Amino acid sequence: MLADQSVRAVLDAFASSDPTPGGGSAAALAGALGASLLAMVAGMPKTKTGTPEDRAALDAARARLLSLRDELVQLIDRDADAYDLVVAAYRRPKATEADKAARASAIQEALRVATAVPLETYKACTEAMEAAGTVAARANPSAVSDVVVGFSSLGLGLQGAALNVEINLGSITDAAWVESIAQELRGRAKNLHEAARQVYSTEPVLDLMKKAAQRAGTGHGTPPYEAGTPEFRNAAARAAVGALARLDVAEAHQALERLAASDDPGVSQPARDALNR
């Protein structure tokens, strides 16, 4: 397994001219790294409040994250194997009409496998991101940077998995099967919004990200907006509206309509602008 090799060997494998391991394996690796970081934070002896409730919630989150990490580790190699299956299908003989029919069938079956594997990576990353909300809310605040890096790594893994699903779906001829995969992606995307809200709305995360933006000079204004002020809420609303506007799903349109009905012009105006576009 690639995961059993040294870090340098893994990096050399990704850097080689061979097509595998590729982006799908890298997505699974990023997800595994994110889940591992979050599991580390969940396992720290000190929690946010020191209550038994915090400890029990974090222990459960850690167990779930470790289980998902193990799934993602397996998916690193499974993604490479799926690609090899597609290559083998395209190399099948096509001398006769029977050969061509068998080859076309093998290609479609291989593409389904090559879609199903990154879809599993996508699912594992979404579930780990959901567990991250518990870690962000209950873990030791001194590990907030680890929480954000872990969550961001999961986000990278999720995005990479989604891209690999999409590129394979484009070659699959079964429209009903393609739509079923699209529905599953949309269904899981609903949970991502809540997971991100849970992580990024916690005070330690907001404070750390604000300070980092200030120090790097990448804040939303000069001076940078203070959390809780109308300017901060408006900047956050504009960022949220921008993200929603890039999603071509009914839920995003409905969310924009709700934002457009806000009494706060800093929230409603960018939402109306996005709807008009």
Question: Looking at per-residue confidence, does 112 or 205 come out higher?
Answer: 112
Segment 134-171, tens digit of pLDDT: 999 999 999 999 999 999 999 999 999 999 999 999 99
Under the banding of pLDDT at 50, 70 and 90, the label for residue 66 is very high
Give the residue carrying structure tokens 């839920």: 251
pLDDT at residue 200, rounded to an integer: 82
pLDDT at residue 221, rounded to an integer: 39
Under the banding of pLDDT at 50, 70 and 90, the label for residue 257 is confident
pLDDT at residue 226, rounded to an integer: 45
pLDDT at residue 115, rounded to an integer: 95
Under the banding of pLDDT at 50, 70 and 90, the label for residue 177 is very high
Mean pLDDT, the chain, rounded, equals 85
Write out the two tokens for 243: 């993200």
pLDDT at residue 218, rounded to an integer: 57
Question: Looking at per-residue confidence, does 192 or 93 come out higher?
Answer: 93
- Distant-in-sequence, close-in-space partners of 156: CB < 8 Å, separation ≥ 6: 27, 30, 31, 34
Q: Are 202 and 137 in contact (CB under 8 A)?
A: yes
Percent of the chain at pLDDT exceeding 70: 82
Segment 83-99, tens digit of pLDDT: 999 999 999 999 999 99
Question: Looking at per-residue confidence, does 189 or 48 come out higher?
Answer: 48
Q: Are 159 and 32 in contact (CB under 8 A)?
A: no
Segment 202-238, tens digit of pLDDT: 888 888 887 887 777 655 433 444 444 454 445 555 5
Peptide bond preceding 118: is omega within 30 degrees of 0, i.e. cis?
A: no
pLDDT at residue 141, rounded to an integer: 92
How far apart CA 135 and CA 141 sit, in angstroms, is 10
Under the banding of pLDDT at 50, 70 and 90, the label for residue 241 is low
Mean pLDDT of all residues in 39-63: 97
Question: Looking at per-residue confidence, does 101 or 228 come out higher?
Answer: 101
> How distant is the alpha carbon of residue 207 from its chain centre?
23
Question: Looking at per-residue confidence, does 242 or 275 come out higher?
Answer: 275
pLDDT at residue 222, rounded to an integer: 38
- Distant-in-sequence, close-in-space partners of 205: CB < 8 Å, separation ≥ 6: 136, 144, 147, 148, 199
pLDDT(104) > 90: yes
Give me the domains of the chain, ranges plus CATH numbers.
Answer: 2-197 (1.20.120.680), 220-277 (no CATH)
